Structure 1
Amino acid sequence: MYHHNHAGVDFRVFIQKMVKSKMARTYMEIGVRDGSTLAMIDCSAIGVDPCFQFSSSPIGTKPSLFLYQKTSDQFFRDHDVRAISGDTLDVVFLDGLHQFEYLLRDFINSERNCNRHSLIMLDDCLPVNAEMTERQHNPLQRKNQDYAGWWTGDAWKMIPILKKYRKDLHITLVDTTPTGIVCITNLNPSSTILEDNYYEILKEFGDAVMTDENIEKFYQENEIASSQAIMAGFNASLTVGP
């Protein structure tokens, strides 16, 4: 069974560093869960999750924090993100439901509320093995029980989708533990390409599965950047907008 273990820093540390490096004023997180990532962010923030399970206070030193206990689809339907944040979003972290159509919608809705120089980060797109890419998490049926608790779903499909439909984006795959982060810049808030082709994309990628052979090919075709190198060399002056 093919494995690709990532050797980079913990994804929370990487996100915290990116927020600080960009001197972000506004941050949004979809899929907050226990708040451990959100708690490490110092700027004004928005958190969305259908069922918060905070282990400690997520407020920290933030000047403001807005929490919405609902699905991301409900949140984007019911709320004006820019009115909440007071501006476009500088950094977004998407870690919601691990099924690609949900992540695709979250990206579409998030980009609309960003500026060209914003940073959107996608979680769970770089699975360690093929088994964890199942659409429904079935740990008891896994052959490899060492990773049975890990579930990325088919979020990995976002990489070929964006590379095909949004060649204008700058996409960097990063080796954060446990299941990588995809950093996306050069955003276009006015783009409707993904939305216009949404159902075509679902039809095209819906039945795709990640086998051992496919995941090996996936890592041969996609270069993975070092999280340490990015954190050391990130130049905020080149990416802060608007």
Structure 2
Amino acid sequence: MPPDIELTQPWPLPLRRLLLEGRRDLRQGRTLQAIRRFERALELEPNIPEAHLGLALARRPGPGYRSWLEILHNALRPGLYVEIGIETGGTLRLAGPGTAVIGIDPDPRLPADGTVAPDARVFAMTSQDFFATPEAVAALPGPVDLAFIDGDHRFASVLHDFLELEARMAPDGVIAVHDTWPLDARTAASTRLTGFYSGDGWKLVPCLRALRPDLRLMTIPAAPTGLTLVTGLDPASTLLRRRFDRILAAFTPLPYGAGAGHSLALVRNDGTALDQLLAWRAMATAKSS
């Protein structure tokens, strides 16, 4: 069953009815009916987060991004996990026993009882400040095995987070980037226009495919807005750092359009994606040995 869709506010009756009926259709497997109701709601009001989320869940079956993060933790058993953008810590708790956890967020909202991430070290700062602070970086006990980027969703920030993490990754490390298959152009803009928002961090994928053919990457069409996995990382590479400003100038204007699926390296949302990732990691390990 797909995740529940909570109503964020008391919408006017026609919209509320469409949202509730769409949610019911989604729960009962009537996907086409759900899509029609959510689309109709957005025709009446183009900024309804529940309708956008409903469309994403209806159009993108299979494990969601949180399920994939859990799959990655179980399959990779990372010694060190770094998460940028932890919010309430829901994905931090996916790390298993024996995994050292570093969380980075300028405004973490973890429960006061510490139940979500009792063993995690959380740094209440932006990722840019974290990587610019030697004392904070020194908290990393070794190379990073698994990292998750889900902080500032703008392209410049996602690119910065990626290059800083790559410089600290293990030879067979994996970087997961959230929100890389947006629902549509409106919710994928660099400037936030909607409550349901994924930003333009997706531009990292065509950027890496164009400039870093040495990397192995795939985008899993996981609800609600995709998850890109990158391995074959090279901590010694300085290309992204050296060309940072020129990359922003070239890729920031990139529109999100009909050809996005091809440029984002979409794969099937099933076990074949994990098989491919594990094969790539094995190649990276062999290359570094």
User: Shorter chain as normaliser: what TM range?
Assistant: 0.7 to 0.9
User: 1:85 is matched with which residue?
Assistant: 140
> CA offset at residue 54 of structure 1?
2.1
Q: Percent identity?
A: 24
Contact 2:181 2:264 in 1 (8 A): no
Query: Aligned pairs, how many?
Result: 225
Change in Cα spacing, 1:80 to 1:18, as seen in structure 2 (3 Å) is farther
Equivalent AA in structure 2 for residue 48 of structure 1: I
> CA offset at residue 81 of structure 1?
6.6
Who wins on radius of gyration, i.e. which is larger?
2
Counting only pairs closer than 5 Å after superposition, residues 72-151 of structure 1 correspond to structure 2 as: 72-79=127-134, 83-139=138-194, 149-151=195-197
User: 2:229 is matched with which residue?
Assistant: 183
User: 2:282 is matched with which residue?
Assistant: 238
The answer on 1:52 being equivalent to 2:108 is yes
Q: Flag structure 1 segments of 5+ consecutive residues without an equivalent.
A: 140-148
Contact 2:217 2:265 in 1 (8 A): no
> CA offset at residue 34 of structure 1?
1.0
More helix by share: 2
- Larger relative contact order (Cα-Cα within 8 Å, sequence gap ≥ 6): 1
Counting only pairs closer than 5 Å after superposition, residues 195-210 of structure 1 correspond to structure 2 as: 195-210=241-256
Question: Equivalents in 2 of 1:166, 1:80: separation in Å?
Answer: 30
**Secondary structure of 2:253's aligned partner:** coil
Counting only pairs closer than 5 Å after superposition, residues 58-69 of structure 1 correspond to structure 2 as: 58-59=116-117, 64-69=119-124
Q: Flag structure 2 segments of 5+ consecutive residues without an equivalent.
A: 1-38, 40-54
Change in Cα spacing, 1:157 to 1:232, as seen in structure 2 (3 Å) is closer
Change in Cα spacing, 1:23 to 1:105, as seen in structure 2 (3 Å) is same
Q: Determine which of 24, 29, 43 is the counterpart of 2:78.
A: 24
User: 1:219 is matched with which residue?
Assistant: 261
User: 2:21 is matched with which residue?
Assistant: none
Change in Cα spacing, 1:48 to 1:222, as seen in structure 2 (3 Å) is closer
Question: Equivalents in 2 of 1:200, 1:90: separation in Å?
Answer: 29
Change in Cα spacing, 1:231 to 1:203, as seen in structure 2 (3 Å) is closer
User: 1:144 is matched with which residue?
Assistant: none
Question: Equivalents in 1 of 2:74, 2:263: separation in Å?
Answer: 31
Q: Normalising by structure 2, report the TM-score.
A: 0.71
